[in-house]
Amino acid sequence: MNGRPDYLQPAALADRALYAPLSGLLRATGDRLPSLVQLNGLIEAHAAGLTSGQGASVRFVPPGRKDLPYEHAVFASGEVATRSDNWHDYFNALVWAAFPRAKAALNARHMHELGRARLAGASARGAVRDALTQFDECGMVVVGTAPGLFRALAQHQWETVLWTARKRLMSSSRFLLFGHASYDQLRTPFGGLCAKALYLVVPKTIFQRPFEVLMAHVDAWLAQLFGDTSTALAPSAFAPLPLLGIPGVARENAVRAYYADARQFRPLGRRTPAPVHLWSGAAVEAL
């Protein structure tokens, strides 16, 4: 016992709900945030050979070393600006290790959109880059075998799925958090904390594979999704998902009344629900 609260110790977060994609890295970190030298060693030991969207070797460096915008520096040299003793940037590095293909694809798509905007003489970020940033910060893939439950979640039928069908939901689904900002916020969670979710229905043969294999499949699927520059992308592609409503994440959601709070569990209203994606099998071929 070191007297420090759990939310200040990486290893203590490893067994918390929603931290499973990073659990091995969190345990390996220990009870304090690593230095940049230690962080680079940790990432290399767990995910050697990370590359940027252009294929440059990724390494985590102090901010301000080059006069290049963030995504440009990552793309061209693999240098990811990372502040020391900073949870947000620490989680960003861990997500690079957990979802290496998807992170590289996000970086490549940012650069593609920047080039397209420059050719068009546009200065605004645009919907695609807004979506990429939202998912990078707060994204989640909910992967499972029950399309009806996912459609109901996309339609904001919160109580129906998260309370009435919670046992079925948790036995047929995995909640794979991607966004590094959300990992940071979940250390000390607050009401209204939402992910930008993608719902992915997979065959049972994929879902029942070991967790690390399922993670690799989802990583490859995300890389294909974000890497397809012919496909339109906007923030509306993601479904808001109240993280504290996921069974097991907050003690308070163990009673039905928790889901009656419309400030956190907002109705969909007249908005169009986000799509539910069906597994095509192409992601397996990318492994």
Copy the structure tokens of residue 2: 């070191």
pLDDT tens across 107-139, in order?
Answer: 999 999 999 878 877 766 889 999 999 999 999
Determine the pLDDT at residue 287. Answer: 47
> 239-242 and 194-201: which strand pairing?
antiparallel
How much is the pLDDT for 173? 98
How is residue 176 annotated by DSSP?
E
Give percent above pLDDT 70 in the chain.
96
Mean pLDDT taken over the chain: 94
Domain boundaries along the sequence of the chain: 6-98, 130-285
If you average pLDDT over residues 67-80, what whole number do you get? Answer: 92
pLDDT tens digit sequence for 197-215: 999 999 999 999 999 999 9
Q: Distance between CA atoms of 58 and 55, rounded to whole angstroms?
A: 9
Per-residue confidence (pLDDT) for residue 193, from 0 to 100: 97
pTM, full prediction: 0.95
Average pLDDT over residues 73-101: 97
pLDDT in tens, 1-25: 577 899 999 999 999 999 999 999 9
Distance in angstroms (rounded) separating the CA atoms of residues 194 and 132:
16
Cβ-based burial of 182 (10 A; exposed 0-12, middle 13-18, buried ≥19): buried
Confidence grade of residue 257 (pLDDT, cut at 50, 70, 90): very high
Tokens at 136, concatenated: 């990078």
User: What's the mean pLDDT in 217-229?
Assistant: 96
* Position 232 confidence tier, pLDDT thresholds 50, 70, 90: confident
CA torsion 148-135-205-146 (nearest 10°) is -10
Residue 283 has pLDDT above 70, yes or no: no
Output the pLDDT for position 94.
98
